Chains A and B, each alone.
Chain A
């Protein structure tokens, strides 16, 4: 039987990160992945990531995927693709299907990084062709360049539902509604806001009654639900759609761990059946480690840190590094991971209703229930100020772990401070030079450069724009408000697409000055 120091199951963000750390310490590492290509779900993530520099913030997911693959290659990690691991036994023997053969391979240590699978909800017609998972939509559009549908209803307002809705619009689909049975939006407000301002209506406390169609989806009916999630009669709404996208959470794929005899628990906070493990991924069986979503649903940035931790822990377990060195390394990673696990959306706050920010400011309720900040709510946040001349207006109103805007500004116009979940503040005595770096660096697309009074009765607003076709200067159209409704006439006066902006174009529109604080999106007149 072949033998390796370390066998990792899953070549996604956590598995690759673990492999890199272990291989760097001289271990012979083999990674199995059932897919045709490595990288897990990273290559479907085309948005800029959150966090700070150490978390690769403001880099797009697929670019992080490329970087990880290069790093793994350099470290000498061996990745075997189209390899489905079908068994894991207590003495760390792995059974893997390679093509039409079954092989047994032994690892002195094992890291399970199998990730998660999408949850489903059932309703009449839920299995009709045209009802798809949000992950399926991402796979079709971002990997294979095929639109998942033309007119789409999204169920689920967590970050996946919000991000995928935005990506659907980016590839030219129409999102007719974003629906969630919960009374409040589950994902980041900034993700909701960038969808809402394009005109997508949000229906919270609503869910799907039925999908319609004989051979495939031709429509959908939703209705409002009460606090016990029962339909309220007479609240039905119909939409003509060809696709219904489900983004209703993820479940850890922990079957191999259960099979190996690891102690398991059913923990809804971590997403379901998960192994009992310490913070570095050590399970109840010495030498079997876990990393990433399989040990509790989070996101790719934390999965990569967990992977590095598990890789190091495995190296120490087999004597490839000293315990003292491990402790120092883990301390650094602990700090990085802890940074990501702060703020309103931290795992510890899951399910809690938070009414105030860390700064003691009342959270925008409209953002939570409709996807956008109401015009009379925005004034109370520290990123929103009125000044003479061009200045950044930062509509980031929830405590999320993210701070690229602070680093992006060469003039110190934006301050977050040491605590990366703090709300960004528009610094009063700093001078904006209109470079646009803050607008492009904001992963939540929540920063605008505004000149409230150009002296001729107009104002200009520079906004992030990631759609095609890109309007040219001189294009006339309408300005939309945060709610996606028409505010006024607008004209594009400048479009900047610098390499440093990384595909986020900066579109500057001119509007009558009374709309400086409400116009937030541009639509060319068709």
Chain B
């Protein structure tokens, strides 16, 4: 399903940076440099960003402005990175966060 808006009736063509490749859970995906990580993931259809520590419940984008911290992931090995306000860079390693780890619970 197309989630990138190609032409917008008011905004026209939406300006984007250059196309870059990044790693999502080890898989190569593409996004635009400088857009929030969360936007790139959303465009690729990723909904779940993390699982909560105690009840292992899925969480994703909620406020998209860096306030709620629901969308945090492990980025380049660092946990709790707010993906909605962190710009995407070439080669970034973005991983689902389980609790505060990039290891699934059964491996923790």
Mark A residues whose CB is within 8 Å of B: 34-36, 46, 60, 117-118, 127-133, 135-137, 139-142, 144-148, 150, 170-172, 214-216, 466-468, 470, 503, 505
Q: How far is the CA of A133 from the CA of B67 in the complex (A)?
A: 11
The 8 closest A-B pairs by CB, nearest first: A129-B60, A145-B14, A136-B64, A216-B47, A144-B39, A129-B47, A139-B64, A46-B10
Most chain-B Cβ atoms within 10 A of its Cβ — which of A131, A135, A144, A503? A144
CB distance from B31 to the nearest CB of A (A): 10
Other 5 A-B pairs with CB < 8 A, given A136-B63, A139-B84: A118-B63, A127-B57, A171-B5, A216-B58, A505-B9
Say if the beta carbon of B48 comes within 8 Å of chain A: yes
State whether A130 touches B60 (Cβ < 8 A): yes
* 28 chain-A/chain-B pairs, Cβ below 8 angstroms: A35-B65, A117-B67, A127-B59, A128-B58, A128-B60, A129-B48, A129-B49, A129-B61, A130-B60, A132-B63, A135-B65, A136-B65, A136-B84, A140-B39, A140-B61, A145-B5, A145-B11, A146-B4, A147-B3, A171-B5, A171-B8, A215-B48, A216-B48, A216-B58, A466-B9, A467-B9, A470-B9, A503-B9
CB distance from B60 to the nearest CB of A (A): 3
- Which residues on B sit within 8 Å (CB–CB) of A147? 2-5
Q: How far is the CA of A136 from the CA of B85 in the complex (A)?
A: 12
- Which residues on A sit within 8 Å (CB–CB) of B1? 150
Q: How far is the CA of A146 from the CA of B4 in the complex (A)?
A: 5
**Interface bracket on B:** 35 or more
Nearest opposing residue in chain A for B70, CB measure: A127
Mark B residues whose CB is within 8 Å of A: 1-5, 7-11, 14, 16, 35-36, 39, 42-43, 47-49, 57-67, 70, 84-85, 87
CB distance from B13 to the nearest CB of A (A): 9
State whether B10 touches A170 (Cβ < 8 A): yes
Q: How far is the CA of A264 from the CA of B5 in the complex (A)?
A: 44
CB distance from B20 to the nearest CB of A (A): 15
Q: How far is the CA of A135 from the CA of B63 in the complex (A)?
A: 7
Q: How far is the CA of A118 from the CA of B65 in the complex (A)?
A: 11
Q: How far is the CA of A148 from the CA of B4 in the complex (A)?
A: 10
CB distance from B36 to the nearest CB of A (A): 7
CB distance from A215 to the nearest CB of B (A): 5
Option from B10, B16, B64 in Cβ contact (under 8 Å) with A132: B64
Most chain-B Cβ atoms within 10 A of its Cβ — which of A35, A140, A216? A140
Q: How far is the CA of A287 from the CA of B57 in the complex (A)?
A: 47
Contacts A117-B67, A468-B9 given; does A145 touch B61 at CB 8 Å: no
CB distance from B27 to the nearest CB of A (A): 17
Q: How far is the CA of A171 from the CA of B2 in the complex (A)?
A: 11
Q: How far is the CA of A34 from the CA of B16 in the complex (A)?
A: 22
- Which residues on A sit within 8 Å (CB–CB) of B47? 129-130, 215-216
- Which residues on A sit within 8 Å (CB–CB) of B65? 35, 135-136, 139
Q: How far is the CA of A127 from the CA of B58 in the complex (A)?
A: 8
- Which residues on B sit within 8 Å (CB–CB) of A130? 47, 60
Nearest opposing residue in chain B for A503, CB measure: B10
- Which residues on B sit within 8 Å (CB–CB) of A46? 10-11
Nearest opposing residue in chain A for B13, CB measure: A145
- Which residues on A sit within 8 Å (CB–CB) of B11? 46, 142, 145
